[in-house]
Amino acid sequence: MQSSGWRGRRRETWARYPCVLGWIVGLLGLANVAVPALGAELVQLTTGPGNDTEAAWSPDGQRIVFQTDRDGTLDLHILDLATKARTPLAAGLGHAAFPAWSPDGKWVVYSYACFTKTALEGQEDGYNVFLIPATGGPPRRLTQGRYRDYCPAFLADGKTIWFSSDRGVKDKSNAVSLHAVSVDGGEPKVVLRREGSDRAAVQASFSPDGRSFAYGTISGFRDNWRIVLARVDRPADGYVLTEAQGCFYGPRWSPVGTVLACTGFRLGDPGWGVWLFDAQTGRRARLDSGQGQSRSPAWSPDGRRLVLENNRSGTYKLYCLQTPELPEAPPASTSPGDRSQVLHYCFAKRTDTAIADSSPRSNHGHIRGTPIWQEGAIRFGPPGASIAIPNAKGFDFGNGAFAVRAVVKAPEQPQFAMIAMGEYPGNRLGWQLYIADDGRAWFNSRTTELAYRGARSDEPLPTRRSVTLTGIRDAVGNARLYVDGSLQQAAASGALCVYGPPVQVRIGTQYNGTAPLLGWLYDIAVYSRELSAEEARGDSLARFWAEQPSARPKKP
Amino acid sequence: MMHQWVGTVIVMAYLGLASLASASDPQRFEVAAWVDHFDFATVFDSEKAEGLSQILDHVRETGATTILWRNCGGSTMRYQSRIEAHHHGSQLDKRRIAENRPVYGWVRYGETQPDIIAEVVRLCRQRGLRPGIHWPFEETHWAGWTIGQFNLEHPQYWGQTAQGQPWWGRVSLAYPAVIRHKLALVDELVERGVEVLFLDFSRTGGWGPGYEYVEPVVSAYREKFGEAPPTDPKDLRWCRHVSEYVTRYLRQLHDHLKASGRPVELAVGIPGIAPLGDEPLVRCGADWRRWVEERLVDTLVINHVTWDRKAPLESTQAAYREVLCTVAGRCRVWCPVQQYNYSTYGIPAYQEATGKKPEELAEALTRLAHQAGAHGISLECVDYNNYSPAVRDALRRLTSGACRQVR
């Protein structure tokens, strides 16, 4: 059985790592601009055999709890930063993993399993959530059953614990959702449901005010881990902060600010590293840790230091460092006066019969019917409402690239809704950006034989906040879709249709007035070129926070 | 009751004698049974030696002479590997979305005592069977929980699409460290005494040339052809270029096995091999004709052939002959008697096309292979009773009788 308490006390010496100094911070804004290196001192915290991982700093800043496999299975140990003493907290048979502190520092919550039978002989429990006094004592079981309950975290109230779990999955899929359980136990409740194979929400971490949280997500076995921001009271309407061109997981929100630390990798990196993201602006930095891989950062309570694991010595050991400041850098966006822009409507101000185009092409639109205007957006609800662009100029893309970017809020009830489309001679559905009746967004172009080639969003669109959709047909005929700058997995190739002058460009409905957009359209722009991922992201992060001012993270 | 018991003893004695004979006879027509013990997990206790023994005895009823035991799921190992994870380890790595099905999700093959591969080798020898390994050419078995520790720890070697998206489901063979890791896994198997190493190119776990747009492969392409590689991953020139890395790996594997000092037979399984075409190249960078030409492989395993629905057995026979003619005696060839039908060319598909019973088809396919001059048949995969008792009887009778020796 699992033992507990302060038995087997062993002391360890802090080992100041000699070759400090290579802490270079490769700072990257959204436009991937490298900035000068910042020095930082790396200090080794643990030594000895095995791997010391998944550290968490106590709220009083005096202790670090972590998991270690130095004795074979995973145990929890506590490192006292003043005395340098390392003490087992939960050790013995079975695996104890993913520790986290209660806000008052009196408890540690973690995941634990101990198997004494083979799978065929039968196992009642899998990995479940346990609570143990931080000073040692008998652990208390909070969940039970043959599930994988892991990565628990306390909410700010100290009374509720969120954790990741495969509870409640349908059709034997291996999805992981976020669940909540009271510190008093009881039946866990689902907080954020993920459905389908290899779809997961893992490791919630809360903002200092407790209103927002971040977590890692993955959407299928071909996807990469990404970081999502969400409100605690609206967990399903998350914003994907990182792109699938990298792999980012295990976010930890700074206790005092807007910056997240997580483990990440992007092409060109030497391996796993610690990344910092400003949840408010999207600015980012990779901490270059020199030798070895660095993972699983966790903040000190004052937000000035990080503890992390690094394997430069051959096994993972804990280290800490002073956290560098993220420098100010404006996010990239499309520049005004972009000659490739062939249409740009902003619906912030109501107009009656015409909508002015701010692109160089002056493709002013005619408003048909009586659409609804509200809160800086337009809705094509009543039958007959749409925007037509007669003699649209610049939409003859030939076989070249083009992009359509729209800021929309999806309808509450999923239904087929056309955002924008272009009709061409002999090619009535030349290109379309729309929401399907399952709530997912699509962008499609055509082959030279006019066969459909579409890209689809990974998930149904959120309905309680706006999203920025960008459909791109690139120069070699790939059709791609971005949601808030995040490339979606389902893409298509062979979209090499040649576009001449259009018959019509329509916004808000299908070519014949059907499939009205019953959600809200805030802004739409069309370009006769590809847009970068950063351009596709646009100001979506700022919009995300602006639409929920009560949850907006604040700097200290 | 007594009658049944006597019958069982006779069958077991017969099986034992037949198997012992096969191990010592190089001209014996092989019956290579692929065994995925994970698929027996709800029937026998696959975490215990007794269960492994029961699995082998069940499989042996097919007349098997060689056992191709599955060593992994994706790149998680099903034995006590020192250098790779096993799939229960996925429960302890938050990057993996763990398998959670009752029994299947909770087996702990990495902790099983005794070590599964070592025990299976011992049990095979005890039964006069040649112990081999079925090693899919994959690092993910179409699921995140099958990603191994090496992949998780080395994102810098991950595959990459033409659009620049990395994928942890595959590390590229273009990196020497990846090859070293694979050869180290081979050492673990050789140490345990396996005599056949069978690389299955049908199971690629979602990998294909579309994930090889990594820097070394792209640079080499530019250097060779003076232009950027095509973004279409099915472009034949690109696929041929990617296949160079697979071939290079096979050369190193071949040399590594030879250097081990133990006689380990290297077999490769190719899907859609005939009628001859470029499908294996496009699908998984498998330039098998070159491997045969360079004598890198000892045995070519036909995973399936694309037979004609209007003339199932006749076209199968023609396809077998086409392959054997191409091989021209440079390596051994095993033909499929495939119960699995994911290819849509297995026994169930023959049944649909011919109206014959499975045991009739198993017999007919075995005779076709034998008459074409093949060196054996391969059974993909022998699960619990998926080859019915009648099929097992038919195969056992034929391969210990009329088709006992290679023609």
pLDDT grade, residue A554 (50/70/90)? low
Token output for B359:
């045991």
- Say how many domains are in chain A: 2
Please judge whether B94 and A150 are an interchain contact, meaning their C-beta atoms are less than 8 angstroms apart.
yes
Of the candidates A113, A198, A270, the beta carbon closest to that of B144 is on A198
Q: For position A551, what pLDDT does the model report? A: 58
pLDDT digits (tens, 9 = 90+) for B323-337: 999 999 999 999 999
| Domain hosting residue A95, numbered range | 2-116+124-322
Token output for A57:
């700093």
pLDDT grade, residue A336 (50/70/90)? low
Please judge whether A221 and B169 are an interchain contact, meaning their C-beta atoms are less than 8 angstroms apart.
yes
Residue A10 has pLDDT above 90, yes or no: no
Q: Where are the alpha helices (DSSP H) in B96-175?
A: 116-126, 149-153
A310: nearest CA partner in chain B:
B153
Q: For position A28, what pLDDT does the model report? A: 37
Statement to judge: residues A303 and A434 lie in one domain: no
Does residue A244 lie in a domain region?
yes
pLDDT digits (tens, 9 = 90+) for B354-395: 999 999 999 999 999 999 999 999 999 999 999 999 999 999
**By three-state DSSP, how is residue B239 classified?**
helix
Contact partners, residue A272, CB within 8 Å, separation at least 6: A263, A264, A265, A293, A294, A295, B153, B155
Q: Is A170 part of the contact surface with chain B (CB cutoff 8 Å)? A: no
Residue A31 has pLDDT above 70, yes or no: no
Residue B223's CB is within 10 A of a number of other CB atoms, namely 8
Statement to judge: residues A261 and A353 lie in one domain: no
A94: nearest CA partner in chain B:
B92
Question: Contacts of residue A166 in chain B, CB cutoff 8 Å?
Answer: 97-98, 100
Q: For position A326, what pLDDT does the model report? A: 81
Interface probe for A, chosen from B40, B47, B94 (most Cβ of A below 10 Å), is B94
Contact partners, residue A285, CB within 8 Å, separation at least 6: A25, A26, A27, A28, A275, A276, A324, A326
pLDDT grade, residue A324 (50/70/90)? confident
> How confident is the model over A136-158, as a mean pLDDT?
96
B167: nearest CA partner in chain A:
A222
Contact B313, B364 (CB under 8 A): yes
- The identity of residue B156, as a single letter, is Q
Give the residue numbers in B contacting A (CB under 8 Å), as ranges. 41-42, 44-48, 51, 91-92, 94-95, 97-108, 140, 142-145, 153-156, 160, 163-169, 206, 231-232
> How confident is the model over B253-260, as a mean pLDDT?
97
Statement to judge: residues A402 and A504 lie in one domain: yes
Of the candidates A118, A221, A493, the beta carbon closest to that of B142 is on A221
Please judge whether A126 and B106 are an interchain contact, meaning their C-beta atoms are less than 8 angstroms apart.
yes
| Cα–Cα dist A534/A30, whole Å | 6
Does residue A543 lie in a domain region?
no
pLDDT grade, residue A383 (50/70/90)? confident
> How confident is the model over A318-322, as a mean pLDDT?
94
Contact A175, A166 (CB under 8 A): yes
Does residue A335 lie in a domain region?
no
Q: Is A124 part of the contact surface with chain B (CB cutoff 8 Å)? A: no
What count of CB pairs under 8 Å joins A to B?
125
Q: For position A6, what pLDDT does the model report? A: 30
**Which of A168-182, A386-400, A504-518 is least confident?**
A168-182
Residue A478 has pLDDT above 70, yes or no: yes
| Cα–Cα dist A73/A3, whole Å | 13
Instruction: Map out the domains of chain B with their CATH numbers.
Output: 2-22+30-399 (3.20.20.80)
Q: For position B192, what pLDDT does the model report? A: 97
Q: What is the CATH number of the domain that holds A495?
A: 2.60.120.200
| Cα–Cα dist A334/B233, whole Å | 32
DSSP string, B55-102: HHHHHHTTT-SEEEEE-EETTEESS--SSS--GGGGGG-TTS----ST
Q: For position A325, what pLDDT does the model report? A: 83
Residue A118 has pLDDT above 60, yes or no: yes
A443: enclosing H helix or E strand: strand A441-446
Does residue A401 lie in a domain region?
yes
Give Dmax (Cα) for chain B: 78
What does each C-alpha distance from A441 to A22, A118, A316, A343, A438 come to in angstroms?
45, 46, 42, 21, 9
**Which of A208-217, A532-541, B13-22, B329-338 is least confident?**
B13-22
Bridge partners for B132 per DSSP = B68, B196
Statement to judge: residues A357 and A271 lie in one domain: no
Please judge whether B95 and A169 are an interchain contact, meaning their C-beta atoms are less than 8 angstroms apart.
no
pLDDT grade, residue A330 (50/70/90)? low
Q: For position A390, what pLDDT does the model report? A: 85
B48: nearest CA partner in chain A:
A118
Statement to judge: residues A367 and A502 lie in one domain: yes
Does residue A209 lie in a domain region?
yes
Residue A535 has pLDDT above 90, yes or no: yes
Question: Contacts of residue A126 in chain B, CB cutoff 8 Å?
Answer: 91, 100, 106
Statement to judge: residues A32 and A181 lie in one domain: yes
Q: Compute the nearest-CA separation of A223 from chain B (Å).
A: 7
Statement to judge: residues A318 and A345 lie in one domain: no
| Cα–Cα dist A495/A480, whole Å | 10
Q: What is the CATH number of the domain that holds A11?
A: 2.120.10.30
Q: Compute the nearest-CA separation of B404 from chain A (Å).
A: 38
Q: For residue B225, give the DSSP letter.
A: H
Question: Residue A25's closest CA among A15, A36, A14?
Answer: A36
Of the three residues A322, A352, A386, the one that is the final residue of a domain is A322
Chain A, 222 to 261: residues with Cβ < 8 Å from chain B are: 222, 224-225, 244-247, 249-250
Q: Compute the nearest-CA separation of B342 from chain A (Å).
A: 20
Statement to judge: residues A168 and A43 lie in one domain: yes
Q: For position A549, what pLDDT does the model report? A: 62
Residue B140 has pLDDT above 90, yes or no: yes
Of the candidates A74, A221, A245, the beta carbon closest to that of B144 is on A221
Of the three residues A294, A322, A350, the one that is the final residue of a domain is A322
Query: CB burial class (10 A; 0-12, 13-18, 19+) of residue A144?
Result: middle
Mean pLDDT of the residues in chain A: 89
Contact partners, residue B5, CB within 8 Å, separation at least 6: none
pLDDT grade, residue B62 (50/70/90)? very high
Does residue A388 lie in a domain region?
yes
Does residue A392 lie in a domain region?
yes
Statement to judge: residues A429 and A287 lie in one domain: no
Statement to judge: residues A191 and A293 lie in one domain: yes
Residue A21 has pLDDT above 50, yes or no: no
Residue A520 has pLDDT above 70, yes or no: yes
Statement to judge: residues A313 and A345 lie in one domain: no
Q: Angle, nearest 10°, between helix axes B347-354 and B312-327?
A: 140
pLDDT grade, residue A556 (50/70/90)? very low
Statement to judge: residues A365 and A492 lie in one domain: yes
pLDDT digits (tens, 9 = 90+) for A210-238: 999 999 999 999 999 999 999 999 999 99
ipTM score assigned to the predicted complex: 0.91
pLDDT grade, residue A40 (50/70/90)? low
Alpha carbon A285 to chain centroid distance? 16
Please judge whether B100 and A174 are an interchain contact, meaning their C-beta atoms are less than 8 angstroms apart.
yes
